Structure 1
Amino acid sequence: MTTIADPRSPRTSVRRSGPNLEKWGWIYMRVSGVVLVVLIFGHLFINLMVGEGIHGLDFAFIAGKFATPFWQWWDVAMLWLALIHGANGMRTIVNDYVLNERTRKVLVWALWLSAGFLIVLGTLVVFTFDPCLGVENSTTEWLIEMCAAQ
């Protein structure tokens, strides 16, 4: 009779009391994946199919979208979910393939720090976006007129 070897495990850990973070990470990946599909396809549909389609994408279109709270929150939700989803997936890969405990911890910390930095930066960009910033140096007439009207 042939015996199958036990699966390789990079670390053996004893189950601690408290919340099972791996289970919640697994659930987050499934839920955020479904929500991201809706957010991304909605984003693509509005940007590429409605109105003039891809030919209508310009600075004014983006400025108009970022002028409404609905689209600000849509894009921020997409940003947050995508970055956390990606960082959690990379964390899983690091946990599976990096055997050295110290290297694994450094890489996981680097993942979460970079994801956190990008989340903060992206959120600031979305909520502080001002199309009239630096307009005095612009050569675009419609932008100068729009900002002068404010």
Structure 2
Amino acid sequence: MSVTIEVPNTPVRPHKRGVNWEKWGWIYMRVSGIALIVLIFGHLFVNLMVGDGVKAIDFAFVAGKLTNPFWIVWDTAMLWLALIHGANGMRTIVNDYATRERTRMILHGALVVSTVALLILGTLTIYAFDPCPAGSPAEHLPSFCGVAG
């Protein structure tokens, strides 16, 4: 009885011509990782070190930040980069461990659906945020809302 051993590093799927998505996914992970380090540490520094620190974080603090276009863009970039970075990492894990093509397709589909849904919901949350909701007590609103109290 003879046993045949596959050649090491033999791809599960044959190599196709065209865009090398694995290469671009690898490059994206490196570039987005560096950008995320800057975005996350900037976010943490502003929220925890500037001003009164963590005890100052409340609705008014977040509302004040989300009225500034700079922080809207900052938070949007952080959201998109982090979600796509995480989804790309999960895609890599699926490719490494899902041996059946059907299983891989189902997992990739679930990953795409969940990533797109979270990107849409997160972006809507950032851009549709109302810092001065009607009917809220004046003591809970930021000072720029102009509520007569």
How far apart are 1:89 and its partner, in Å? Answer: 0.3
Measure the CA separation in 2 of the matches of 1:65 and 1:79: 15
Question: With structure 2 as the length reference, what TM-score do the two structures score?
Answer: 0.87
1:7 maps to which residue? 8
| 1:139 matched to 2:137 | yes
Q: CA RMSD in A?
A: 2.1
| 1:43 matched to 2:53 | no
Matching residue's letter, 2:127:
F
Question: With structure 1 as the length reference, what TM-score do the two structures score?
Answer: 0.87
Q: Sort the Cα spacing of 1:109 and 1:9 in 2 relative to 1 into closer, same or farther, 3 A.
A: farther
1:96 maps to which residue? 96
1:72 maps to which residue? 72
1:33 maps to which residue? 33
Residue 148 of structure 1 aligns to a residue in which SS? coil
2:21 maps to which residue? 21
Measure the CA separation in 1 of the matches of 2:113 and 2:56: 36
Measure the CA separation in 1 of the matches of 2:54 and 2:8: 50
Matching residue's letter, 1:53:
G
Matching residue's letter, 2:14:
S
Which runs of 5 or more residues in structure 1 are unaligned?
none
Q: Sort the Cα spacing of 1:6 and 1:62 in 2 relative to 1 into closer, same or farther, 3 A.
A: same
1:30-87 CA-to-partner distances (Å, cap 9, x unmatched) read: 0000000000000000000000011111110000000011000100000000000000
Count how many residue pairs are aligned between Structure 1 and Structure 2: 143
Which runs of 5 or more residues in structure 2 are unaligned?
none
1:84-109 CA-to-partner distances (Å, cap 9, x unmatched) read: 00000000000000111101101011
Measure the CA separation in 2 of the matches of 1:71 and 1:132: 17
Q: Sort the Cα spacing of 1:9 and 1:140 in 2 relative to 1 into closer, same or farther, 3 A.
A: farther
Tell me, yes or no, if the aligned pair for 1:72 and 1:126 is still in contact at 8 Å. yes
Matching residue's letter, 1:114:
S
